Amino acid sequence: MGRKKADRYGFAIREAQEKDLPEMVGFLARLALHVSGAPPHDLKESEHKRLLKTLRSSLDDPNRRLIVAESTDAGLVGMGYVYIWRSQGIWEQSGSEEFKSGIIDDVWVEPEFRNLGIFKALLRDLVAFAEQHHASELTLEYAASNKEAKAAWTKLGFKTTGVRAAAFTSVVKQVLTESQR
């Protein structure tokens, strides 16, 4: 269904190129704002450059795939990224067997192009790349407050495997102080 809808609206998924990088930095900035829930901000020039450099380093890396969704009318409307993480295992008993995992990150679809199947089209490409590299598992992180991410990932079969927790230092200190009394 997703693929048919995307085709009808004239989207293509392709590998990112150097010329796409400035716009992709804009996507990453909007993703960061979306996750933090903050109002619009401008990226510092140094951060803009750092993100450009990070994205550029993925372009020719055979273990990384950086892709964009492009609309015939509107240009770039989304992006996605996966890299292959390799582990030799830490146990004597596991021998020299290499374990490969696909780490998915930086998936973004522009708000006015959502619910057209672009996310699923991006994921089809990233999953094909992971499969080609024999990555038997895919992992990713999203903020617990990110409702559409939770919905989209859960529909694809992702299950929560851990929890990242945060607290104000002052709160933790207070709890510890009270527990001493």
Ligand X SMILES: CC(C)(COP(=O)(O)OP(=O)(O)OC[C@H]1O[C@@H](n2cnc3c(N)ncnc32)[C@H](O)[C@@H]1OP(=O)(O)O)[C@@H](O)C(=O)NCCC(=O)NCCS
Task: Find out whether 44 and 156 touch, Cβ atoms under 8 Å.
Answer: no
For position 26 contacting ligand X by CB under 6 A, the verdict is no
Of the candidate residues 9, 34, 103, 139, the single one contacting ligand X (CB under 6 A):
34
Measured from the Cβ of residue 16, the count of other Cβ atoms closer than 10 Å reads 22
| Contact code string over 42-71 relative to ligand X, x by CB under 6 A | ------------------------------
Q: Binding ligand X by CB under 6 A: which of 55, 119, 130, 138?
A: 119
Pick the binder of ligand X from 25, 68, 84, 116 (CB under 6 A).
116
User: Which two tokens mark 69?
Assistant: 């969704």
Q: Which stretch binds ligand X (CB under 6 A): 43-51, 53-61, 104-112, 166-174?
A: 104-112
Binding to ligand X by residue 33, rule CB under 6 A? Answer: no
Cβ atoms of 121 and 3 closer than 8 Å:
yes
Total residues belonging to the chain: 181
Contacts of residue 98, Cβ cutoff 8 Å, sequence gap at least 6:
86, 87, 88, 89
Token representation of residue 31 = 């993703």
Q: Which of 15, 131, 137, 148 binds ligand X (CB under 6 A)?
A: 148
Handedness of CA 82, 88, 89, 94 (dihedral sign): positive
In the complex, the smallest distance separating the C-beta of residue 119 from ligand X, rounded to whole angstroms, is 3
Residue 109 interacting with ligand X (CB under 6 A):
yes
The span from the CA of 122 to the CA of 126, in Å, is: 6
- Kindly tell me which residue out of 28, 51, 81, 117 binds ligand X, with binding defined by CB under 6 A: 117
Between 49 and 155, CB nearer to ligand X: 155
Q: In the set 24, 66, 82, 118, which binds ligand X (CB under 6 A)?
A: 118
Q: Give me the residue label for tokens 């859960």.
A: 154
75 beta partners: 71
Please give the residue ranges that form the binding site for ligand X (CB under 6 A).
2, 31, 34, 107-109, 114-120, 140, 142, 146, 148-149, 151-152, 155
